[in-house]
C-alpha cells in the first residue's frame, strides 16, 4: 500500500480581502491538484489544512468551523469536499479542520473513505500556542479503524491486506490523554496518520521517531511550513517513519508544497499487531 504524507501551507482564512469560504476553496483546489498528480492509496494532510492555524479567538475560528452532523445533508461543507475527493481518488484521506459541536470548538482531524465506511473524527487532546485561545481539548482516545487495501494483480486476480489505522494531531505525539492514560499502546495499530503544524526546528523531530519505535507502528507525518501571524513553522519537513525508526522522506522539498510517499507492506510484526488490536 502506497501511503502519502502531504506537506502543504494554506493561505490563512482570516482576511479582509476575501471571505473565509473563498480562501478555503482556493486552498482545497491547490490540494486537489497536488493529490491528483501524486497517486497513492492513503493520504495524510496537515493539521487545519484548509484554514490555517493562528486564530486569535473563538470568533475567528468559528468562521470556518464545521458541524459534522450536517455532513452529506446538502450544506456543502468542506468535509463533503474531502469525502468526494476520497471517492474520486479511491483512497482514504486524513485531514485537519475546525469542528463545532454545541457551543464548543475543537481542533480536529477526520478520516474519510471512498467506500461506505463512516468517517472517523478525533479531537486534539494536548493544546499548544493558539489552541489555547479558542479550542476545547479533546478528552477521548483516538478511534482506530480497520481498512482493507485491495491491490489488483491481473485482470482476474487481486491481493488484499487489512491495516489498523488511527489518527493523531501535532502535540498529541506526546501520547498522553486528559484522562492520564496513553493515547496509544504498543502494537495497537499498524499506521498512525499524524497531522501536524510543527514549529520551526530540527527535522525529523526526535519525538516522531520515538513514537513510531515505542508504538511499533508506521507514522505518516504530514506537516506544514512558513510563517503565519505569530507563528513560525520553519521550512516544514514531512516524512514516513517505520516501526524500526527509519525515516523515509523521498520527494521532500523544504518550504514547498510536496508529497512524500512510500510503499508499506505487511511485515513480520503485522499479524501480531493485528491480533493485539482486536482486543481494543
- pLDDT of the residue at 178: 73
- pLDDT of the residue at 175: 92
User: CATH for 2-277?
Assistant: 3.60.110.10
191-207: b or e for each residue (b if 16 or more CB lie within 10 Å)? bbbbbbbbeeeebbbee
Q: Which has the minimum average pLDDT: 54-58, 121-125, 144-148, 155-159?
A: 155-159
The whole-number average pLDDT for the span 158-179 is: 90
Given a cut of 60, whether residue 280 has pLDDT beyond it is: no
Secondary structure E strands in the chain: 2-7, 42-44, 93-101, 104-112, 120-123, 145-152, 158-169, 191-195, 218-222, 227-228, 231-232, 239-241, 247-248, 258-263
Distance of CA 261 to the CA centre of its chain: 14
The whole-number average pLDDT for the span 4-8 is: 98
Q: In angstroms, rounded to a whole number, what is the distance separating the alpha carbons of residues 244 and 257?
A: 27
Given a cut of 60, whether residue 276 has pLDDT beyond it is: no
The whole-number average pLDDT for the span 76-96 is: 95
Largest CA distance in the chain: 56
- pLDDT of the residue at 269: 58
The whole-number average pLDDT for the span 123-132 is: 97
Region at 13 (left for phi over 0; alpha for psi -120 to 50; beta for the rest): alpha
- pLDDT of the residue at 209: 98
- pLDDT of the residue at 189: 94
Q: In angstroms, rounded to a whole number, what is the distance separating the alpha carbons of residues 231 and 129?
A: 9
Q: How many residues does the chain have?
A: 280
The whole-number average pLDDT for the span 245-250 is: 97
Given a cut of 80, whether residue 144 has pLDDT beyond it is: yes
Q: How confident is the model at residue 2 (pLDDT cuts 50, 70, 90)?
A: very high
Given a cut of 70, whether residue 220 has pLDDT beyond it is: yes
- pLDDT of the residue at 154: 66
- pLDDT of the residue at 150: 84
Q: In angstroms, rounded to a whole number, what is the distance separating the alpha carbons of residues 92 and 41?
A: 7
Given a cut of 60, whether residue 279 has pLDDT beyond it is: no
Cα-based distances in Å from 49 to 87, 150, 245 = 19, 28, 26
Amino acid at each position: 500500500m502506497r501511503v502519502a504524507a502531504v506537506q502543504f501551507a494554506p493561505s490563512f482564512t482570516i482576511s479582509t480581502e476575501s471571505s473565509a469560504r473563498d480562501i478555503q476553496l482556493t486552498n482545497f483546489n491547490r490540494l486537489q491538484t497536488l493529490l491528483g498528480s501524486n497517486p497513492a492509496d492513503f493520504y495524510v494532510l496537515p493539521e487545519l489544512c484548509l484554514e490555517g492555524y493562528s486564530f486569535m479567538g473563538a470568533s475567528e475560528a468559528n468562521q470556518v468551523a464545521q458541524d459534522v452532523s450536517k455532513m452529506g445533508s446538502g450544506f456543502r461543507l468542506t468535509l463533503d469536499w474531502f469525502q468526494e475527493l476520497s471517492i474520486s481518488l479511491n483512497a482514504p484521506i486524513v485531514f485537519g479542520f475546525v469542528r463545532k459541536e454545541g457551543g464548543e470548538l475543537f481542533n480536529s482531524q477526520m478520516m474519510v473513505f471512498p467506500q461506505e465506511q463512516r468517517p472517523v473524527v478525533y479531537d486534539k487532546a494536548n493544546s499548544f500556542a493558539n489552541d489555547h485561545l479558542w479550542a476545547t481539548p479533546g478528552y477521548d482516545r483516538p478511534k482506530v479503524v480497520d481498512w482493507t487495501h485491495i491491490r489488483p494483480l491481473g485482470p482476474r486476480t487481486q491481493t488484499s491486506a487489512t491495516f489498523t489505522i488511527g489518527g493523531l494531531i501535532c502535540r498529541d505525539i506526546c501520547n498522553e490523554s486528559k484522562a492520564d492514560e496513553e493515547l496509544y499502546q504498543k502494537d495497537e495499530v499498524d499506521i498512525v496518520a499524524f497531522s501536524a503544524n510543527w514549529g520551526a526546528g530540527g527535522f525529523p523531530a526526535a519525538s516522531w521517531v520515538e513514537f513510531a519505535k515505542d508504538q511499533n507502528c508506521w507514522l505518516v507525518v504530514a506537516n506544514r511550513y512558513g510563517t503565519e501571524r505569530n507563528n513560525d513553522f520553519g521550512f516544514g519537513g514531512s516524512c514516513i517513519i517505520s516501526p524500526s525508526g527509519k525515516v523515509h522522506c523521498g520527494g521532500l522539498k523544504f518550504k514547498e508544497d510536496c508529497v512524500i510517499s512510500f510503499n508499506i507492506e505487511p511485515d513480520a510484526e503485522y499479524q501480531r499487531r493485528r491480533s493485539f488490536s482486536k482486543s481494543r
